[in-house]
Structure formats: C-alpha cells, structure tokens
Amino acid sequence: MKARVHVMLKNGVLDPQGEAVRHALGSLGFDGVEGVRQGKVIELDLAEGTTEDTVKDMCEKLLANTVIESYTIDMG
C-alpha cells in the first residue's frame, strides 16, 4: 500500500524558494506567472493495514513542521 503526503507552507508564510522559482521563470520568458508556492511530496510504502491515522501521526511528529506547514494525505 502506498501513501502520498503533500506538504506546503501555510498561507502567510514567506516562501523564498517559490519566489526564486517565479523569478527564474520570468528570466526565461514565462511572464504570466504571478506567484509560486513550493512544497514537497513524500511517498510512503506502507505495510497492509497501516491506517491514515498512523500516517497523520507520522506527519505530526516528523514529516511536516505543523507550525508553518500544512499537509494532505492521499492513501492508495
């Protein structure tokens, strides 16, 4: 079983990496980009029976800094 965890900075938290990407895109001629938020995707290979609550616990304790980041979990 797989799970994907999508981690993003919360709204209102500055995203210097996203701003650098936006600036670089503009330098390459992609002028229509007004904002970029950069995040990460973590893929987990899980043992059968691992619950979404367990993955949530992993996120809360390690995978996301919940003070400045939010996350979503896709179980599949």
Enumerate domains of the chain plus CATH numbers.
Answer: 2-75 (3.30.1280.10)
Task: Write the pLDDT tens digit of every residue in 29-59.
Answer: 999 999 999 999 999 999 999 999 999 999 9
**What is the enclosing helix (H) or strand (E) of 17?**
helix 16-27
Task: Write the pLDDT tens digit of every residue in 14-37.
Answer: 999 999 999 999 999 999 999 999
pLDDT at 76 over 90: no
Q: CA 65, CA 59: separation in Å to the nearest integer?
A: 8
Instruction: Assign 59 to helix, strand or coil.
Output: helix
Give the pLDDT of residue 66. 97
